[in-house]
Amino acid sequence: MRCVQFRTALSGRLDGEAAGIPDGRLDGHVARCAGCREWLEQAERLRSRVAESAADGPSADWSAGLLARLAEDGPGGPQR
């Protein structure tokens, strides 16, 4: 099996989906393969950052600015 297959399985597992590879085999490969271990660490960091950003949501200033621009543009979009 190639690393790309393990990484696809790891991605699925991170997303809460079935990995398609038994956990023991997947974990064993990650323990032995520095490339896949690094890939998994990066994917976990990215997932964490995305989750934090989604939880924070846009700032109130950003939202107010967007609503003001939308109101200025009217229902037909920007008038340029």
Q: Is the pLDDT of residue 58 over 90?
A: no
Helical ranges in 1-80 per DSSP H: 3-14, 23-32, 34-56, 60-73
Helix, coil or strand: residue 30: helix
pLDDT at 5: 95
Residues 6+ apart with CB under 8 A from 77: none
Query: Is residue 78 over pLDDT 60?
Result: no
> Which pTM value belongs to this model?
0.65
Give the Cα separation of 19 and 7 in Å (integer): 10
